[in-house]
């Protein structure tokens, strides 16, 4: 199987690709598409094929998909980019890649989504069949564009049979990723017990690999998440920052916002987190 990975140089992709290369069966080939060829050298050294191109360019996408059996679409525009770029990369390029995969005969399409696409909380853990409900503290162009990608790709599954599998991720951390430290720019305004659903990079990779190699899971979402969320107090302690006393006086406006059930991926694909909590990862030296 020849597998194309997009977003290989991002925080998730650059940790996933080496694991994919180690997991690949004899005869499998891993290809990555990068905009800057020099950033693909590390992957080439590990045995990946590297093509240079932009996902927003139809010609580049067509070249990257030649002979490809499966796609893992990790590419995303997130923080500190204009909203029009979020729409262009997160929705438009993702759906265009899906259409190109249909035309090229690519049989499998694993897409990385986000729990923010669900919008407001439901008063319970989110399930994969929940529709989008606009709202919530993180609702905006990123969440909207990612929700649009999910909808567009699932429409391709229904109309053209594209074997789409959507991996829904919460906040990702671990292995030197600066995300945990970056939370301090906003959790100081939270309530003490306010919770953030999280997942370690090792478990992101585990979940993506399970989706990639699973049979008969087309047209479905799967949540990839730690067993335990992390609280605002936890995040202060993890970052060595004193907990502001005013956190204790605040109330969480939506206690179930972003909290995810992992029952489907556990029951259907055998997923069990290698790091069930941030504290497990800390004790293992995996932050």
Q: CB under 8 Å, gap of 24 or more: what pairs does 137-142 form?
A: 137/253, 137/254, 137/257, 138/258, 140/83, 141/83, 141/86, 141/87, 142/77, 142/78, 142/86, 142/90, 142/114, 142/116
| Predicted pLDDT at 136 | 86
What tokens appear for 211 in the block? 């989706």
Torsion on CA atoms 128, 132, 137, 140, rounded to nearest 10: 120
Q: With left for phi above 0 and alpha for psi between -120 and 50, is residue 285 left, alpha or beta?
A: left
CATH number for the segment(s) 2-173+200-225+261-275:
3.40.50.720
pLDDT in tens, the chain (287 residues): 999 999 999 999 999 999 999 998 888 999 999 999 899 999 999 999 999 999 999 999 999 999 999 999 999 998 889 999 999 999 999 999 999 999 999 989 999 999 999 999 999 999 999 999 998 888 999 999 999 999 999 999 999 999 999 999 999 999 999 999 999 999 999 999 999 999 999 999 999 999 999 999 999 999 999 999 999 999 999 999 999 999 999 999 999 999 999 999 999 999 999 999 999 999 999 99
| Predicted pLDDT at 45 | 96
| Predicted pLDDT at 79 | 81
Domain boundaries, the chain: 2-173+200-225+261-275
* Alpha carbons 188 and 182: distance in angstroms, whole number: 11
What tokens appear for 10 in the block? 């991002």
| pTM (predicted TM-score) | 0.96
Q: Are strands 198-200 and 220-223 parallel, antiparallel or unpaired?
A: unpaired
């Amino acid at each position: 199987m020849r597998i194309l990975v997009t977003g290989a140089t991002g925080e998730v992709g650059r940790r996933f690709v080496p694991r994919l290369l180690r997991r690949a069966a004899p005869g499998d080939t891993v290809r990555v598409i990068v905009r800057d060829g020099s950033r693909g050298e590390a992957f080439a050294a590990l045995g990946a094929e590297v093509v240079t191109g932009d996902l927003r360019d139809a010609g580049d996408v067509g070249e990257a998909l030649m002979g490809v059996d499966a796609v893992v679409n990790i590419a995303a525009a997130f923080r500190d980019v204009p909203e029009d770029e979020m729409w262009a990369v997160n929705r438009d390029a993702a759906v265009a890649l899906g259409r190109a995969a249909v035309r090229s005969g690519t049989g499998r399409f694993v897409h990385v989504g986000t729990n923010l696409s669900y919008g407001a909380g439901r008063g319970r853990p989110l399930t994969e069949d929940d529709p989008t409900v606009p709202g919530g503290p993180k609702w905006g162009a990123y969440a909207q564009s990612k929700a649009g990608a999910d909808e567009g790709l699932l429409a391709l599954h229904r109309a053209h049979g594209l074997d789409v599998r959507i991996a829904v991720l919460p906040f990702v951390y671990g292995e030197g990723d600066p995300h945990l430290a970056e939370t301090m720019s906003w959790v100081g305004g939270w309530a003490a017990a306010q919770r953030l659903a999280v997942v370690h990079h090792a478990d992101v990779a585990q979940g993506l690999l399970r989706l990639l190699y699973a049979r008969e899971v087309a047209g479905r979402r799967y949540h990839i998440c730690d067993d335990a969320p992390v609280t605002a107090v936890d995040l202060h302690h993890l970052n060595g920052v004193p907990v502001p006393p005013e956190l204790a006086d605040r109330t969480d406006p939506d206690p179930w916002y972003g909290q995810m059930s992992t029952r489907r991926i556990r029951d259907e694909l055998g997923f069990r987190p290698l790091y069930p909590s941030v504290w497990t990862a800390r004790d293992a030296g995996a932050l």
